[in-house]
Amino acid sequence: MNAIICEIEILEEDLNKNIRILNSFEEVKKKENYIKGHQNEEEIQKKCKIKFNGKIIPFCYYKNFKNKGKYKIEFIFEKNLTNANFLFYDCTAFVSIDLSNFKVQDINNMNFMFYNCKSLEYINLSNFKANKVSDMTGIFYNCRALKSIDLSNIRAINLTSMSIMFCNCYSLNSIDLTNFKTQDVTDISGMFYNCVSLCSIDLSNFNTTNVIDMNSFLGGCTSLSSVNLSSFNTQKVINMSGMFSRCKSLKSIDLSNFNTQNVINMNSMFYDCVSLISINILNFEATNLIDMSAMFQNCKNLTFIDLVNFNTQKVNKLTFLFKGCDSLIGINCPNLLIFMEMLDIVKKKNLINLECQLLCIIMLKNQFHLMLLVLDYI
């Protein structure tokens, strides 16, 4: 049998209303102008039969309920789907989805498949052999109630996009990505953005050789206390903006293996990492870097930053670079000229606006070799 089995829960406020059980292209166009709706509507109508509480009902996108409680809905497919994007978009009453008998071997697109299934608590992906899928953008976006996801059986060998895949999964505290094949993935931007309950994550098997965009990858993971990115290959990455922004529980991070030679944007990369005490970015070359604005803003407990290998010749955006770094007492910088730019000199008054009240020692490398500059400021 080729079927998806779902359970929905109808509450008092849902009674006598049209409750969405499938998504239609027209609804996507009305609600989200910034994303393209699925083009598989005709395919779904032809291939799908709907069984409600054991009885086949006419094909529909909505169902009206007169009584509270939980109901079983089965979507039976006579032929394999090739496109499943937006399939259960905005189906807010779903509490569980069983995909163990759903044949996905011919599907190539799953973007936003479960978008805003905000009541979804359980999903069974045990036989999810998505070998042809190339796009999983936003597949679980805004699944706020989902606490755990086991993706260990997925063999998505052709996957290229995992952008905002788990974005706004506020309750997610466990995720297994052990066997995920990511060698062709180019976009992981916002993949775990706002996963506020995620305390740890194993990314040791992640192959990031072809990734270009890591923007906001772990942004907003406020409970994340540690992360090991030693296996990450970042040689092709262009965008790292907000990559760890608002990781408020992260105390140390080692990025010594990061190759940043092609990175253009590091805006807000460590913004609001208020617990961060230690950071290793010694190998950051930043040869093509343009934007460093707010990179360390509000890192309240960071005491020392070593930028010794930073090549900042192309940098032209440095606003709020160290703003709110209240504990910062030392910075190792490549040269005096670049450092002055970093500190946002108020040229008319010839003053330095540091925004770092404790900063007293700066190590500068210039034509006079190493020198210490001790600042005395009010």
Residue 123 counted as domain residue: no
Q: Which pTM value belongs to this model?
A: 0.87
Residue 108 counted as domain residue: no
Measured between alpha carbons, how far is 352 from 357 in angstroms, rounded to an integer? 12
From 212, 216, 256, 217, select the one nearest 234 (Cα to Cα): 212
The CATH code of the domain that includes 355 is 3.80.10
367 with 341: CB under 8 angstroms?
no
Show the tokens assigned to 241: 């903006």
- What confidence tier does 97 reach under pLDDT thresholds 50, 70, 90? very high
What is the number of domains present in the chain? 1
Q: Which domain holds residue 198?
A: 182-378
Share of the chain above pLDDT 90, in %: 59
- What confidence tier does 374 reach under pLDDT thresholds 50, 70, 90? very low
Residue 268 counted as domain residue: yes
Residue 19 counted as domain residue: no
Q: According to the model, what pLDDT value does residue 330 have? A: 78
Residue 137 counted as domain residue: no
Residue 249 counted as domain residue: yes
Measured between alpha carbons, how far is 22 from 24 in angstroms, rounded to an integer? 7
Show the tokens assigned to 105: 């071997």
Q: According to the model, what pLDDT value does residue 40 have? A: 66
- What confidence tier does 370 reach under pLDDT thresholds 50, 70, 90? very low
Show the tokens assigned to 268: 């807000």
Q: 210-258, pLDDT tens digit by residue?
A: 999 999 999 999 999 989 999 999 999 999 999 999 999 999 999 999 9
Torsion sign across C-alpha atoms 270, 216, 166, 231: negative
- What confidence tier does 359 reach under pLDDT thresholds 50, 70, 90? low
Residue 28 counted as domain residue: no
N-to-C CA span, the chain:
75
> Which residue type does 124 have?
N
- What confidence tier does 29 reach under pLDDT thresholds 50, 70, 90? low
Q: Indicate the helix (H) or strand (E) that contains 280.
A: strand 278-280
Residue 51 counted as domain residue: no
Q: According to the model, what pLDDT value does residue 34 have? A: 45
Measured between alpha carbons, how far is 331 from 308 in angstroms, rounded to an integer? 9
From 58, 36, 38, 62, select the one nearest 48 (Cα to Cα): 58
- What confidence tier does 32 reach under pLDDT thresholds 50, 70, 90? low
Place of tokens 């393209």: 36
